[in-house]
Amino acid sequence: MKDTEICTLASGSKGNCTYLRYGDTSILIDQGLSLRELKVRANYCGIDLSRIDALFVTHEHSDHIKGVGAFARAYGVPVHIPSACLSYICKEDGDERYYIPNEQDASVVVKDLKVTPFRVPHDAHYTVGYRISDGKNDVAIATDLGYVGDGTLAKLSGCKAVVLESNHDSLMLAKGRYPQRLKARIAGKNGHLSNDAAGEVAAALAQTGTQKLLLAHLSEENNTPEVAFESGRAALGRHGIKEGDDVLLYIAGQYKPSGRIKL
């Protein structure tokens, strides 16, 4: 079996970047770090950025695209992006050379990988998650989404590992200092996934064979790694699933890479 690994280099509203490698094929999902910071983190993890084959963008919010242009130019890497987001990224970047617009969530083949976008509800012009497959081991990533409906759940089901948003604790958000309007946006159907919602999704996915779940895009204001982890662990427990035995939970941090997690 090909060795497969996943590593979140950054996750949260200050920047997102996820690395995925299947044997000789490696990709990044989003690049919301400065090129300098990306290099520091990749180096820390022993990841060779010159071997990245393609970059995939989920949506045009700046925490996901800030460093896309700089990375593409430095390494000559093609960038696959939903076509609806293209004009926004080019406005920031002024450079279209490396961008390959994806019209209708078509699958993209990168060497021996198939990368399939699927649309998720979020308040950008167009937001996708991705399911990556070599035909045997699937991995999916879904951050920045207001809720997980049946369609999204189907896209995430049966993956070995899933990077799933666990943005906020609903009580911390409700009692916190954000203005009412922002609270409503975050908790809304096109906002961000709560810990409770993520926990239920995690339990459903564990029952489809998911073994590793990376809780991602945690709010620094309305969540903590401990609260997110405990909420996920408790939700699994309510469904008779034991964290540590049946499934492993990880926290994707903002300031520190997750480490290279083998599948």
Positions touching Zn ion (CB under 5 A) are: 61, 63, 144
Angstrom CA distances, 240 to 204, 236, 237, 245, stand at 11, 7, 5, 11
Helix (H) or strand (E) holding 113: strand 113-119
Structure token digits, residue 56: 């995939």
Q: Within 13 A of 143's CA, how many CA atoms are on the CB side?
A: 31
User: Whose Cβ is closer to Zn ion: residue 25's or residue 143's?
Assistant: 143
| Minimum CB–partner distance for residue 143 and Zn ion (Å) | 6
| Minimum CB–partner distance for residue 63 and Zn ion (Å) | 4
Angstrom CA distances, 46 to 39, 73, 112, 260, stand at 10, 21, 23, 9
| Minimum CB–partner distance for residue 211 and Zn ion (Å) | 25
| Minimum CB–partner distance for residue 122 and Zn ion (Å) | 6
Residues 129, 135, 141: CA angle, nearest 5 degrees: 15
| Minimum CB–partner distance for residue 30 and Zn ion (Å) | 8
User: Whose Cβ is closer to Zn ion: residue 24's or residue 220's?
Assistant: 220
User: Whose Cβ is closer to Zn ion: residue 63's or residue 243's?
Assistant: 63
From the list 31, 11, 29, the residue with the least C-alpha distance to 20 is: 29
User: Whose Cβ is closer to Zn ion: residue 63's or residue 169's?
Assistant: 63
User: Whose Cβ is closer to Zn ion: residue 167's or residue 210's?
Assistant: 167
Structure token digits, residue 151: 């369609």
